[in-house]
Amino acid sequence: MPRSVPSSARSVVRSAAVRSAVVRVCALGLLLPLAACGGSGDGGTGGGDDVGAAGVGDPYFPKAGNGGYDVHHYALDLAYDPDGTDDPDGTGRPGGADGPVLSGSARLTARATRDLAAFHLDLDGMTVRRVTVDGRAASFSREGQELIVRPAARLVSGRTFEVTVAYAGRPKTLTDPDGSKEGWLRTADGAVALGEPTGSMTWFPGGHHPSDKAACDLTVTVPEGLTAVSNGELRARRTSGGRTTFVWHTAEPMATYLATLAVGRFTVTRSTTPDGLPVHVAADPTQAAASRSALARLPEVMAWAADRFGPYPFSSTGAIVERPGDSAYALETQNRPVFPGAPTPDLLVHELAHQWFGDSVTPRTWRDMWLNEGFATYAEWLWTEDEGGPTAEETFQELYAYGEDTYEDLWAFPPADPPGADDISADPVYQRGAMVLHRIRRTVGDKAFLDLVRGWTAAHRHANASTGDFTAYVERQAPDQDFGPLWRDWLYGEGKPDRP
């Protein structure tokens, strides 16, 4: 990737291969018309039984999320034992040298969207000990990443129910389609959970698709001396018997890929922004000094972003800084992005911009990823422009000057239609996505553009949005313009568009 252009947050770890064929497979692996997959995932698994679907029909991750219900709240009560002396599998052999053990329970409050004799949860790995639905034991089975629950009594459509899963084990690290690592990552002095796109299913059962956002309360117990940092606000912290319990509260809806839990030794700094927003920063002690100057700018970046993008959608902010080797990339975990080492100002801007674009306005499916990464990348361009660096127009022109021979990856596919799951983190999603936004800005003018952006974050605050929602919204805001060619050539068209 060309040096002088702001780099994609993740392009360094992305696999070079671009899949040529688009395969859209339904939850059951059957080749049904897409509509049959059901955006709301209401398809049964056949046999005339009321079984919620194994997935919600995501084009790239067909088993992500589950049909037949919406999760409203997660209550996770976990203990992390780095020495692995727990015995998760009940074999009489504690973890020991096999590694740390995570154990506890997840209680989900959900609403049935159809009658359910059985339903799925996503959970990859871990040993499930017991499942209850509304307090009564439920039978369950495992099939790959699906935990299938059959309550003692059928759930009637519209009804709110509680499912509790007691589980334990050594959470997995997953390798993404693009080759990078996610899920539960062991760090130098603990662990960190990174969930984009599907890694959160390694450490708690749930509806692990961005379309099912929910509030979350996480209680986590770790050995005294270690710190547990998560999303939202720290409600309580108590130590007894050599263990410390941290209670984290996330009131605003959160897509599960944005959930994090970092356990380790941290230097914690708490403050408030001039607007009174709590700031909670946790830095690995080896990174604390190097992070100080970048993180000192966090309140300034927050104020800048709120001015450009609209009111900050969450109740607290901050950051988690791990060691560079602990993760290969940063992630916009809600309230509190994770950084692999001290962030640069650009990366800080990128991850904080995601709080608006991705965390509050969340993609409907993983195909809409450019709405996250295009906006976060464009935020970097705007910041650079406002800091007196190259203007966004200059950045755009510099990128546009590359041809299909000099920067092949940039023009490999259209941002709104990545050919495969391994492409959702590729350059067109980031850079060409930002170029689309810049073309809109040029079409409507600077002031109207920022009004449009603020209107967009307001219209879909704490909700989901698709590319179609976005183009329809832009057209409504600027009815005098013809955006047809822009969508056709820049958003959906193959190859380098003819007109800059």
Which listed option, Zn ion, ligand TRP, none, makes contact with residue 196 (CB within 5 to 8 Å by class)? Answer: ligand TRP
∠354-360-361 over CA atoms, to 5°?
90
What's the closest the beta carbon of residue 370 comes to Zn ion, in angstroms?
Answer: 11
Reduced to 3 states, what is the DSSP secondary structure of residue 228? Answer: strand
Tell me how far apart the alpha carbons of residues 191 and 189 are, in angstroms, rounded to a whole number: 7
Whichever of 77 and 322 has its CB closer to Zn ion, that residue is 322
Minimum distance from residue 118 beta carbon to ligand TRP (Å): 31
Q: Which is nearer to ligand TRP, 379 or 392 (CB)?
A: 379
The whole-angstrom distance between residue 3's C-alpha and the CA centroid of its chain comes to 27
* DSSP β-ladder status, 361-363 and 463-465: parallel
Fill in the amino acid letter for 121: L
Q: Residue 70 touches which of Zn ion, ligand TRP, none (CB < 5 to 8 A by kind)? A: none
- CB of 379: closest distance to Zn ion in angstroms? 9
- Helices and strands, counts by H and E, the chain: 11, 22
Q: Which does 212 bind (CB under 5 to 8 A by kind): Zn ion, ligand TRP, none?
A: none
Q: Which of 76, 318, 29, 24 is nearest to 218 (CA)?
A: 76
| Nearer Cβ to ligand TRP (70/178) | 178
Residues with Cβ within 8 Å of 46's Cβ and at least 6 positions away in sequence, in order, are 28
Find tokens 């930002």 and name the residue.
434
Instruction: Give the shortest CB-477-to-ligand TRP separation in angstroms.
Output: 26
Element (H, E) at 112: strand 101-112
Residues 26 and 29: their CA atoms lie apart, in Å, by 5
Name the residue number minimizing CB distance to Zn ion: 376
| Distance in Å, CB of 326 to ligand TRP, minimum | 14
> Which of 56/376 has CB closer to Zn ion?
376
Given the DSSP bridges, would you call strands 214-223 and 69-81 parallel, antiparallel or unpaired?
Answer: parallel
Which residue's CB is nearer to ligand TRP, number 256 or number 425?
425
Q: Which helix (DSSP H) or strand (DSSP E) does residue 379 occupy?
A: helix 370-386
- Residue 345 vs 493, nearer CB to Zn ion: 345
Residue 329 binds which entry of ligand TRP, Zn ion, none, CB below 5-8 Å type-dependent: ligand TRP
From the list ligand TRP, Zn ion, none, partner contacted by residue 427 (C-beta under 5 to 8 A by kind) = none
Structure tokens at 215: 């509030």
Kindly list the residues in this chain that would bind Zn ion in the complex (CB under 5 A): 9, 373, 376
Q: Which of Zn ion, ligand TRP, none sits in contact with 424, Cβ below 5 to 8 A by type?
A: ligand TRP
Q: Which residues bind ligand TRP (CB under 6 A)?
A: 9-10, 196-197, 329-332, 351, 373, 376, 424-425
Least distance from C-beta 183 to ligand TRP, angstroms? 11
Q: How far is the CB of 275 from ligand TRP (least distance, A)?
A: 25
> Of 211, 197, 158, 160, whose CA–CA distance to 39 is shortest?
211
Of 50 and 373, which has the nearer Cβ to Zn ion? Answer: 373
| Structure token pair of residue 237 | 């912290």
